[in-house]
Structure 1
Amino acid sequence: MTTPTKPERGSGAPGSDIWVRLASGVVLAVVGLAAVHAGGMWFLALVGVVGLLLIHEWNSITIRGGHGAMAALHAACFLGAGAAGVAGRFDLSLWLVLAGVPASALLARGLGKSVLWPALGLPYVALPCLAMIWLRFDATLGTAQVYWLLATIWATDTGAYAAGRSIGGPKLAPCISPKKTWAGLIGGMAAAMAVGGATAAAVGLPHPLGLALVSGVVGGWSQVGDLSESAMKRHFGVKDSSNLIPGHGGFLDRLDGLLFAAPVAAAAIGFGWL
C-alpha cells in the first residue's frame, strides 16, 4: 500500500541522492505490491506496521514532547478497529475510530496539549487503512481493486508532475505548496482517468468506464490529501514527517495522497457510485 517516488518533492543535492530516492521507491513499491498479491496475513501485517508508523509520525509532529500516551491510545484503537474489520465487523471498526476521537481530545486536554490535532490523528490514519483492508479482502475482486487504486494514485502523481513541469501556469496553492499548479492538478486527474480505466479493464473489474470517471475523482482528491499534509507540516514548521525512508522522508510524506483517496475509492465501490 505504498507509492513510488514523487519527483516534485524531496530535498538534497542532485546526483547520488536521486538514486537513493529511486531505490527506496522501487523497494517500497515491490514490497507493497507483493503484499497486495499475497493477501492474508502478509497484507494485514503491512497495513498494521505502516499504520503504526503513520501514527508515530503524526503524533511526533503534532504533539511536541510527551506524545507516547497519545500514540499508545491511537495504536490501541487502530489495532482494535483493524481486528474488528478482519472479523468482518467494519461497523464496529468505525465505532472504535469514532470513540477514539473524543478519547484523544480528553487525553490531549489532560496533557495540556491542543485538542484538534490529536483528535484528527486517529481517523486520518485508521479510516484509510480500514478502507484498504475492506478493498483487499473482497472474496472475488480484492486484489484487482487494490491494484486499480494504487495504479490510479501513481498515475495521478506522475501526470501531475509531468503537466506541472511542462505546462506550468497559475499556482494551485502557493502558500502551501509553491510548486503545485492547476495544470498539474488537471493533468493528474486526466492521467488517473486514463490509467485507472485501463487498469480496471486489465484486471477484470466491472464497469471500467465508470471506474475511469471514479479514478479522476479519486486522483483529484488524492491531491487534496497531498496539500493537506503539506499544510500540516508547514503549520508545525517541519520539512519531512520523519527520516524513516531514505531520500523520501517519512510515510506520511509518501502516502498522503493514498490516505485521502482510499476511503473515497472504498465508498465509490461499496455504494455503487459507478
Structure 2
Amino acid sequence: MASELRKRTISAIVMAAVTLAATWYGGTPFRLFAAGMSLLIYYEWSKMTRLPEVDLRGDAFGWVAVVCIAANLAFGDVSLGAPLLGGFVITALLLKFLRRGSGWMPGGVLYAGLSGISLAAIRGGDQFGFMATLFLFAVVWGTDILAYFFGRSIGGPKLAPRISPGKTWSGAIGGTVSGVVLGSVLTLSFFSQISPRTVMLALALSVASQIGDLFESFIKRRFGVKDSSHLIPGHGGVMDRVDGLVFACFTAFLLAMAHAAWTGYGETSVAGFLFGL
C-alpha cells in the first residue's frame, strides 16, 4: 500500500510539474503539450472502444485525422484547428455511415482533437492566456479534489449510481462550490475585482468538469475497463486524469466562439471572454 501511494505521489508531482512548466512557457512548448495530449487521448479512446478490432480502417482514418490536427497544433496555425477538426469529423461521419463503421471513431476524433485545440486556444500566447489557463486549472482541480473530500465526509444520495457508484450529490455540490471559490480567489489575485460573468463561468466550468468525469466513467463501464490505460504509474491513463479538464476546456472554448460570433468580435480570445476583457 505504501509503495502504491509513493508511486501515485511521484506521478502526480511529475504531471503537475510538466503541466505547470508548459503553461508557464506557453508558445511552442505548450502547443506541443496540447498536441501530445490529443494523441494520447485518441490512443486510449481507440484502445478502450476496441476500434482496431471492430473497425480497423476507420481507426486508421482516425489516427490520420488526429495526427494532422496535432501537427497543426504543434507547428501550424492554431486558429485553423477548429475548421480542420470540423472537416475531419464530417468526413469521419460520412465514412461511418457509408461503410457502416463504428460510431466511436468520429467520436474519438472529435474528443481528442477538441481536447488539444481548446486547451491551446485558451493558453494563447500572452499573459492573459496564462491567467485563463490557471483559472481553468483552479476550477477543475478544486472541483475534483474537494468533491472527493466532501463526498467521503458527508456521503448521502448517489449522483449517478449506474455510471459511477462512488459519486454523491454532496460531493458534486461541495466540489462545485469549491471550484467556484478557488477560481474567484485566483481571479481576484490577478485583477482588483471580479465580474459576475466570471463567477457564472466558473460555475459552468465546474459543472462541465464533473460531466466530463461521468462521461469517461460511462465509456469505461460500457466497455468493461477499469482504467483508460496504464500509461501513468499509479493513476491509470491520461483520460483518467484529464476527463474533467477537457470538458471544461470544451465549454470555455465553445462558449467563447459562440460569444464572438454573436457579438461580431471575431478576434476575442478565450481569456478575454472568461475575464470580460
TM-score (norm 1): 0.85
- 1:210 is displaced (CA, Å) by 3.3
Task: Note closer, same or farther for the CA distance 1:40–1:75 as it changes in structure 2 (3 Å cut).
Answer: farther
- Could you tell me how far apart the structure 2 residues matched to 1:190 and 1:146 are? 19
Judging by fraction of residues, say which structure has more helix.
Answer: 2
Partner amino acid, structure 2, of 1:235? R
1:142 match: 129
- Could you tell me how far apart the structure 2 residues matched to 1:192 and 1:238 are? 29
1:74 to 49, 62, 69: 62
User: What are the superposed Cα offsets for residues 104-145 of structure 1, whole Å, 9 maximum, x if unpaired?
Assistant: 24545677642x211111111211321111111153411111
Are residues 1:200 and 2:187 paired?
Answer: yes
- Could you tell me how far apart the structure 2 residues matched to 1:73 and 1:96 are? 14
2:12 to 14, 25, 36: 25
- Could you tell me how far apart the structure 1 residues matched to 2:167 and 2:158 are? 6
Question: What secondary structure, in the 3-state scheme, does the structure 2 residue paired with 1:179 have?
Answer: strand
- 1:188 is displaced (CA, Å) by 0.7
Question: What secondary structure, in the 3-state scheme, does the structure 1 residue paired with 2:159 have?
Answer: strand
Query: Pairwise mapping of residues 37-186 of structure 1 onto structure 2 (< 5 A)?
Result: 37-66=24-53, 69-81=57-69, 88=77, 90=79, 92-108=80-96, 113-114=101-102, 116-186=103-173
The percent identity for this pair of structures is 35
- Could you tell me how far apart the structure 2 residues matched to 1:78 and 1:29 are? 25
2:264 match: none
Can you give the 5+ residue segments of structure 1 that lack an aligned partner in the other structure?
1-13
TM-score (norm 2): 0.84
User: What are the superposed Cα offsets for residues 210-254 of structure 1, whole Å, 9 maximum, x if unpaired?
Assistant: 323311210111001000100011101111111000011111111
Give the conservation status (yes or no) of the 8 Å contact 1:173–1:180.
yes
- Could you tell me how far apart the structure 2 residues matched to 1:94 and 1:205 are? 34
2:266 match: none
Give the conservation status (yes or no) of the 8 Å contact 1:197–1:208.
no
User: What are the superposed Cα offsets for residues 170-209 of structure 1, whole Å, 9 maximum, x if unpaired?
Assistant: 0000011111001111011100111000111223497355
The 10-residue stretch of structure 1 (34-43 or 65-74) with the greater mean CA deviation from structure 2: 65-74
Give the conservation status (yes or no) of the 8 Å contact 1:149–1:196.
yes
- 1:153 is displaced (CA, Å) by 0.7
Question: What secondary structure, in the 3-state scheme, does the structure 2 residue paired with 1:156 have?
Answer: helix
- 1:16 is displaced (CA, Å) by 1.7
Give the conservation status (yes or no) of the 8 Å contact 2:45–2:108.
yes
Give the conservation status (yes or no) of the 8 Å contact 1:192–1:215.
yes
Can you give the 5+ residue segments of structure 2 that lack an aligned partner in the other structure?
260-272
Partner amino acid, structure 1, of 2:201? V
2:176 to 189, 196, 214: 189
Question: What secondary structure, in the 3-state scheme, does the structure 2 residue paired with 1:144 have?
Answer: helix
Size of the alignment, in residue pairs? Answer: 259
Give the conservation status (yes or no) of the 8 Å contact 1:97–1:126.
yes
- Could you tell me how far apart the structure 1 residues matched to 2:255 and 2:182 are? 17
